[in-house]
Amino acid sequence: MQGFITSSFRPHRNGLNQVLGELEQNIMEVLWERGEANVRDVFIDLKNKRKIAYTTVMTVMGRLANKGLLLKSPIKNTYLYKPACTKEAFERS
């Protein structure tokens, strides 16, 4: 399994919040559940739960890909994102 780039470790928080921000965690949860999705799919899932902009989701998903947590593949005029590993493997790492 490849290494991930995390910008900070917060030992006082629980679970995934120790290494991921709230929005990063929400996006990863959507993708772990779906398996793969484009930005619009993730945005629609998240906007039903919270007020959020499409461009914010797009930016954070790009950053998660840069950190090695998401893999992205070009599909026509968009990208298809999928988790680089399972949730269980990420939690173990």
pLDDT digits (tens, 9 = 90+) for 20-62: 889 999 999 999 999 999 999 999 999 999 999 999 999 999 9
Q: For residue 1, is pLDDT > 80?
A: no
Q: Which residues make beta-bridge pairs with 82? A: 71
Q: In sequence order, what are the residues at sequence separation of 6 or more whose Cβ sits closer than 8 angstroms to the Cβ of residue 26?
A: 46, 49, 50
- The larger pLDDT score, comparing residue 67 to residue 37, is at 37
Please compute the mean of the pLDDT values over residues 69-76 and round it to a whole number. Answer: 95
Report how far residue 39's alpha carbon sits from residue 60's, in angstroms, rounded to the nearest whole number: 10
State pTM to two decimals.
Answer: 0.81
User: CA 21, 27, 33 angle in degrees (round to 5)?
Assistant: 130
Taking residue 60's Cβ as centre, other Cβ atoms within 10 Å add up to 21
Residue 12 confidence (pLDDT): 44
